[in-house]
Structure formats: structure tokens, C-alpha cells
Structure 1
């Protein structure tokens, strides 16, 4: 369901990006001799990372203790991780390790998180190891896979059929209402002109010239 999740994710806002990037401090701990490909917005990344509070060095998160120790998969630049990590992991290649310092404004801000594990206004430190950089679920190939009639727009029927195929592939039993809720949410967040279709432009938050 990677594509469905990416379509559900609201596109990341571009405003203030340059100023925000200056606030994230990045230290490269290890750089492979061959550093390619480099990550960009919309790529599907596979990584492990540990999170620490800058104030006292205590660890609040370790991806190696989640999901049976498997690295995490997420799409870069669409808000599936905190904004500071989206910024910190740009232009990173497989095998690279980084230590990054993220200010509260690009982390959990005044609210904090995880029932006090991350207090309000906390500066965070992450140690990141990147394993893979793949084409993201909003790739040109994914669009053409769903666009069965090749009219450069995705209808509710086309996306509905895609969701049914993905549900069948993962084999989990779901109430029919789950399909309807996901479909409705996809169009609510992506059909910006309300015409009942997701156009190539609306889908194309990652700026693919091929579309």
C-alpha cells in the first residue's frame, strides 16, 4: 500500500525551505567511496536511525527495536517523518551515515511528543544510517501503472481498482468501509480542483517532466 499511503500524505510545503535548511546541522560520519544515487524529494528510503535529546543525551527512539529490527521505509519530503529529518536526509546516498541536530521548530515544537519522552521545545539529535534509495511511489512508472486508459489523469475507478489489487496482494482482511475511506481521503487531499480526477499535475508533487 505504499502508493496509497503516499497519495494520502499531504504534499510538503515548499515555503521557508531555504531558511529551514540552515537550521538543521548535519555532520557526515561516513561517506561511501561511491556515493550514488543521492536521495531527493519523493524517493523511497530505507534507513535506521536513533533519536536523542540534545539536553541530556538520553535516547528516546531506536528504529532497531521496532518492526523486528528491520530498517524503516518512508517517502522523503512528504511529511512521513518530522520536517527536520526530511531536510536532513536530502542528498544522502546508500551506506552514508549522518549525525544531525534538529531544532524544536522542525521537530515537535511546543507540544512535545510521546507522553513526555520528548518535552516541549526540545532540540533533537539523530544518528542515521541509510541503506537504500529507491524511486518513490509517485514515480512516473507508478502513475502509468494506475492510469489504465493513458489519459494522464486518475479516475476514482482506476484508483479504486488499484486499492483492491493492493489489498488482495497483502492478504489482510479488511472491512469494505476501509477501501471507501481511503479512496475518499485520497481524493480529498489530492483532487485540488474538485473535478473527480487526480491529474498528472495534482499527482506530480515531485516534478516529473515525463508527465
Structure 2
């Protein structure tokens, strides 16, 4: 179940989009908080690709169709959260509640068309410079240019999650996380 605060926007989140969001997790049974993105690590909002398993299934499903600036309260059954095993402070078979706030929605960097646009030298792999150039253009297009440290952190995160063989580039195979799954 979910509670939505309505906003109008042109770009609603969909599978494969790059999402930047804050979220807080609570246990449904007693309301105790087990996660807060504002206090975790350096308090930065979290980046993830929506709908591909980088977050629990309940967030992947519940955050579809959201606008930048929108907030939702999602009640997620254990089967779509941490399941029979639980995780850390979340006990087995626990229903959880997430309060989410989407800060930005960008076209996901996961279509092969986007790969082609990023791969400036057409060598079938993406360097950090190529990814940075693409991100800068996307942010400027969205009217939200950022400073270099912002891009560096984002690029480090993207490469950490996607450069499987750690060779400093993202190959077409590493990039295409949908492999058999048609978009």
C-alpha cells in the first residue's frame, strides 16, 4: 500500500531510469527506524537504476511512476523486502515501511542507444571521461549543472557497480545489464 503526495511532471520514473532519492526504512510492527539515507555514510541521497534489483523488489516496484520532488510512503511485505532471512536489524518475515523522496529521474544509462551516444570513440567500451561527458550533458539539459566533485563521485559509484573486470572501462557486455531482458 502507498500514500502519495501528488505532483505534476513530464518525466515519471520507469524501469531502467537512474534515480537519485532519499529513503528511510521502518519496521511496520513497531515503527522503529532501521535505515536513513540522510545519516548513512555521508548523508548523500542514493543513486540506483530502477527496476533491476539494485534495491529491494518493493522499492523497485513502488517507486515506478514517481516525479522528481515526489514523496511516497510504501508498505512492503517481507516477500518484496528482506524475506525469510531478514537483514541486519530487520527480522525474518518482517513487513517494512519506506518513506521515499525522489530528487531526480534521468534517462537510464542502460539502453544500447545511450551506450552508442556515450561511446564517443566507438571502441565498444566506455571510459570515465566518456561517462562524465554524458552525465554533464544530461544534467545541463535538465537545468541542473553540477560541479566536478559531484560527477567524480557519481562516476566512481557507476564504475564500482558496473566495471566487473575492474579494467577502468565499462564494456558493452558489462553495460547491458538487461542482456536477455527486452526493454
The TM-score with structure 1 as length reference comes to: 0.61
Which residue in 2 is equivalent to 1:71? 45
Task: Say whether 1:127 aligns with 2:93.
Answer: no
Compared with structure 1, are the counterparts of its residues 104 and 136 closer, same or farther at alpha carbon in structure 2 (3 Å cutoff)?
A: same
Which residue in 2 is equivalent to 1:31? 6
- Deviates further, 134-143 or 163-172: 163-172
Which residue in 1 is equivalent to 2:179? 202
Which residue in 2 is equivalent to 1:95? 69
Shift of 1:180: 7.4
Partner-residue secondary structure (3-state), 2:102: strand
Q: Tell me how far apart the structure 1 counterparts of residues 9 and 179 of structure 2 sit (CA, whole Å).
A: 32
Deviation string 1:89-144 (CA, Å, 9 cap, x unpaired) is: 00111111111111111111111102xx0000010100111111101111422333
Compared with structure 1, are the counterparts of its residues 127 and 137 closer, same or farther at alpha carbon in structure 2 (3 Å cutoff)?
A: same
- Please list every run of 5 or more consecutive structure 2 residues that lacks an aligned counterpart in the other structure: 133-150, 157-162
Which residue in 2 is equivalent to 1:158? 124
Contact 1:41/1:206 (8 A) holds in 2: no
Contact 2:118/2:131 (8 A) holds in 1: no
Q: What is the aligned residue count? A: 153
Contact 1:40/1:91 (8 A) holds in 2: yes
Which residue in 1 is equivalent to 2:14? 40
Q: Tell me how far apart the structure 2 counterparts of residues 66 and 181 of structure 1 sit (CA, whole Å).
A: 28
Q: Tell me how far apart the structure 2 counterparts of residues 180 and 90 of structure 1 sit (CA, whole Å).
A: 27
* Structure whose alpha-carbon radius of gyration is higher: 1
Q: Tell me how far apart the structure 2 counterparts of residues 206 and 45 of structure 1 sit (CA, whole Å).
A: 20
Q: Which protein, 1 or 2, shows the higher relative CO under an 8 Å CA cutoff with sep ≥ 6?
A: 1
Compared with structure 1, are the counterparts of its residues 167 and 87 closer, same or farther at alpha carbon in structure 2 (3 Å cutoff)?
A: closer
Q: Tell me how far apart the structure 2 counterparts of residues 58 and 122 of structure 1 sit (CA, whole Å).
A: 12
Compared with structure 1, are the counterparts of its residues 74 and 167 closer, same or farther at alpha carbon in structure 2 (3 Å cutoff)?
A: closer
